[in-house]
Amino acid sequence: MRTERTCKPLERGFRRHLTAGRGLAALWLLVSLLSVAPIHQTDARAARKETRVAIIANPSVSVDSLEVVDLQRIYLSKRTRWPDDTRIVATMLKGGSIHKSFVEDILERSVSKFATYWKQIVFTGQGVPPKAFDTEEELIEFVAQTPGSIGYVSIQTPTAGVHSIALVR
Amino acid sequence: MDADGIRKPRQTAGPNSHRLRLPASVPIALSLGLLLAGSLSFAGSLEDLYIGGFVSQGYIDTSENNYLVPKAREGSGEFNEVGVALSITPADRTRIGIQFLARDLGEEGNNQVMIDWAFGDYHWRDDLGFRAGKLKLPYGFYNVVRDVDVARPFVLLPQGVYDERIRDFFTAYEGASLYGNLHHEPVGDLDYEFYVGTLNVPSPESGFWGDIFQRTGESAAADSSFRADVGDLYGVDVEYISSGGFIDPHVALPWLVGGALTWTPPVEGLRFGGSWLRSRYEASARLLFNVQARDRETGRPEYFGFDIPDPRIQDDVEYIMSLSAEFARDSYSAALEYTLQNTGGTDHVGDTPVTEGYYLSGSYRLLRDITVGAYYSRYWNDRNDRDGEEALRNGYPEFSAWQHDLCISARFDVSPNWLLKLEEHWVDGVGQLSPSENQDANGQTDANRYWSYFAAKATFHF
């Protein structure tokens, strides 16, 4: 959309006007200079080769293995059906090191970027995020009881009653 | 102007008399309710019901010119948003969702609770779904996430592409869409959306449309043939006509069609997009005038007011299109977006002006909690008058032909639910300013070419 103007010429020059923004400019410059030395190396790629995460699913799921890209598409809600056309019910942990490993190693995103992605989906009405659990035990129990569900736990956690899915890279 | 339509004013009711306005305490109470809900960990999924929300308060302080909010030169806090989104899955493949939003940005919004979006979704397959209701309007990558502060490092999206003045009616349409995601291994993902619908303009009495009505009245008052028509109709010699504003404004975009494509190639963090829409607008308001004249027979002075009941301004919106590219990996992100907008109408020499804008932005996550960003945004009211020569010929300053904005920002993620943003803008040009907000006491325009503004915003989200 366009609007026209009714401004009349003014001879007034550029008056300097101090706002709080001047302080911000200085802050930004300082912070930028500090950034010459990279402070954090929590890149997803740093630890991508090995993962501490095992993928589990409800026994009703007939899939035995998934490619990383498929898992990414499931957790970004771009793929919502199993090959037999049943609904995929994705689950996740609310936080912790296993959640971090899963998001960074397998979804290849930072935890905050993943959270932001889902905020955008929620606040534009395009979907709801994976069902989130506080503990691995709660997640395993839900996956064991919910047809079509998929989740992840530590490879050291015993997973009775669920179906393991191999990850293909 | 059609002189037959001229008549004496009959109505004195103000333009806002029929509208519901919430007292200031209502949004505040709603905000507190949201905060409470968040702190009680009520947020999140409750079986099939999902609730999310956000509350934000901003501040704008401009130098030289008033922008977005009246009296911005003195600093203004008329800049806040409260939103609650609910979503429920009543059956497999179906979903119903709604988001309530109350926002204020100067003359826009005024904290009236409105439905931001509300629709039913039938997700038949991943590559084909259907939605109907009030839906977010896809334009660029970020029009649909304008409300979502957490999605970007900036308080304000680059104005060259995302004009804040038209946000109230340019974020959602009422209609239906087909959408889907196509995935092919070597190519990546293609997301598409095609839609038809109508656009609703919630508050045409102020802001963008208010300026257009005001300007239409002022142009008519200054027009000599209009003056002659008035004289003939009333049998007087008109000495002076002034615009007395307008009442009963109505704006509708009775139909629009459009689509958007996003291609995500198998390169981590990269995506490209394009959007296009076509529409038509119909605007009307009762324009008021005050006349000073002399009776042609007696020569006696006369002072009277009259109004033009329904001067329709209507035209085809030929196209509004955008092209987008984004690269976001690890701590870095960059975006480049471009728009061309032919919203119809003709200028003083009979050409149809085409608005053009683009920006380049970048951000870097410096620490876990601190992100710095910058963008340079450029905007021209008419791409064929980039240097403002035509504007100058028409009595406007040449710098009213453009508005270019250099912004730097800092974002602080204070906690997983709280964020604070600060940013400074240095601007050349006044192409997107409201004329009525930049006048001196005598009604003379008081706008400066070089100016700056500071914006801050704190947001709570769950």
Q: For A68-118, how does the pLDDT look when each residue is reduced to its tens digit (9 = 90+)?
A: 999 999 999 999 999 999 999 999 999 999 999 999 999 988 898 899 999
CB atoms within 10 A of CB B30: 20
0.90 surpassed by complex ipTM:
no
| Contact across the interface for A9 and B413, Cβ inside 8 Å | no
**CA angle at residue B179 from B178 to B183, to 5 degrees?**
145
| Contact across the interface for A31 and B451, Cβ inside 8 Å | no
Chain A: nearest CA to B394, how far in angstroms? 10
**Is the pLDDT higher at A29 or at B197?**
B197
Candidates B84, B150, B128, B222; CA nearest to B415 is B150
Task: Say if CB A29 and CB B198 are below 8 A apart.
Answer: no
| Contact across the interface for A123 and B413, Cβ inside 8 Å | no
Candidates B318, B306, B253; CA nearest to B11 is B306
Q: Write out chain B residues lying below 8 Å of A35, CB-based.
A: 364, 366, 372
Q: What are phi and psi of B67, to 5 degrees?
A: -140, 130
Chain B: nearest CA to A62, how far in angstroms? 19
Q: Does B410 touch chain A (CB under 8 A)?
A: yes
- Residue in this structure with the two tokens 């001047």, named with its chain if needed: A22
- Which residue in chain A is spatially nearest to B422 when comparing CA positions? A24
pLDDT band at A41 (very low <50, low <70, confident <90, very high): very low
- Which residue in chain A is spatially nearest to B356 when comparing CA positions? A2
Given B366, B368, B396, which is nearest A5 (Cβ)?
A: B396
Q: Residue ranges per domain, chain A?
A: 44-168
Instruction: Report the C-alpha gap between B207 and B109 in whole angstroms.
Output: 10
Q: Residue ranges per domain, chain B?
A: 3-15+129-461
* Integer-rounded Cα radius of gyration of chain B: 24
**3-class DSSP state for residue A15?**
coil
**3-class DSSP state for residue A138?**
helix
**Is the pLDDT higher at B420 or at A122?**
B420
Given B148, B409, B448, which is nearest A119 (Cβ)?
A: B148
**Is the pLDDT higher at B185 or at A43?**
B185
- Which residue in chain A is spatially nearest to B410 when comparing CA positions? A28
Instruction: Report the C-alpha gap between A75 and A80 in whole angstroms.
Output: 9
Q: Does domain A44-168 have CATH number 2.30.40.10?
A: no
Run of H or E including B173: strand B172-184
Chain A: nearest CA to B297, how far in angstroms? 37
Candidates B20, B76, B142, B104; CA nearest to B456 is B76
What's the half-sphere exposure (Cβ side, CA atoms, 13 Å) at A164? 13
* Tens digits of pLDDT across chain B (462 residues): 343 344 433 333 333 333 333 334 444 444 444 443 443 333 344 457 889 999 999 999 988 788 887 766 778 888 899 999 999 988 889 999 999 999 888 777 778 898 999 999 999 999 999 999 999 999 999 999 988 999 899 999 999 999 988 888 889 999 999 999 999 988 999 999 999 999 988 778 877 888 888 877 887 888 888 888 888 888 899 998 988 888 888 888 999 999 999 999 999 889 999 999 999 988 888 889 999 999 988 889 989 998 887 667 788 889 999 999 999 988 899 999 999 999 877 665 667 889 999 999 999 999 989 999 999 999 999 999 999 998 888 778 899 899 999 999 999 999 989 999 999 999 999 998 877 777 777 766 778 899 999 999 999 998
Given B145, B266, B370, which is nearest A123 (Cβ)?
A: B145
Residue A33 has pLDDT above 80, yes or no: no
pLDDT value for A50: 63
Instruction: Report the C-alpha gap between B198 and B256 in whole angstroms.
Output: 6
| Contact across the interface for A6 and B165, Cβ inside 8 Å | no
| Contact across the interface for A6 and B208, Cβ inside 8 Å | no
Candidates A48, A70, A39, A44; CA nearest to A57 is A70
Candidates B422, B419, B418; CA nearest to B38 is B418
Q: Write out chain B residues lying below 8 Å of A5, CB-based.
A: 381, 391, 396, 400, 430-431, 433, 435
For residue B139, CA distances in Å to B163, B261, B277 come to 12, 10, 9
Residue B16 CA, chain-centre distance (Å), reads: 20
Chain A: nearest CA to B341, how far in angstroms? 7
Instruction: Report the C-alpha gap between A155 and A138 in whole angstroms.
Output: 16
Q: Write out chain B residues lying below 8 Å of A10, CB-based.
A: 397, 445-448
Instruction: Report the C-alpha gap between B404 and B161 in whole angstroms.
Output: 11
Task: Say if CB B225 and CB B160 are below 8 A apart.
Answer: no
pLDDT value for A2: 40
* Integer-rounded Cα radius of gyration of chain A: 24
pLDDT value for B343: 85
Q: Does B371 touch chain A (CB under 8 A)?
A: no
Q: Which of residues 273-312 of B touch A (CB under 8 A)?
A: none
Burial of A112 (0-12, 13-18, 19+ CB in 10 A): middle
pLDDT value for B164: 87
Residue A21 has pLDDT above 80, yes or no: no
Q: Does B383 touch chain A (CB under 8 A)?
A: no
pLDDT value for B376: 98
Tokens, residue B429: 């040009």
For residue B58, CA distances in Å to B53, B302, B333 come to 17, 50, 24
pLDDT value for B41: 37
Task: Say if CB B214 and CB B115 are below 8 A apart.
Answer: no
Task: Say if CB B174 and CB B166 are below 8 A apart.
Answer: no
| Contact across the interface for A80 and B126, Cβ inside 8 Å | yes
Start-end of H helices in B98-223 = 167-170, 207-221
Residues of A128-153 as b/e, b for ≥16 C-beta within 10 angstroms? bbbbbbeebeebbebbbebebbbbbb
Chain A: nearest CA to B300, how far in angstroms? 34
**CA angle at residue B269 from B125 to A116, to 5 degrees?**
75
CB pairs < 8 Å spanning A and B = 198
| Contact across the interface for A87 and B83, Cβ inside 8 Å | no
Q: Which of residues 327-346 of B touch A (CB under 8 A)?
A: 328, 330-331, 341, 343
Bridge-based pairing of strands B270-295 and B79-88 is unpaired
**Is the pLDDT higher at B50 or at A151?**
A151
User: DSSP character for A36?
Assistant: T
| Contact across the interface for A132 and B45, Cβ inside 8 Å | yes
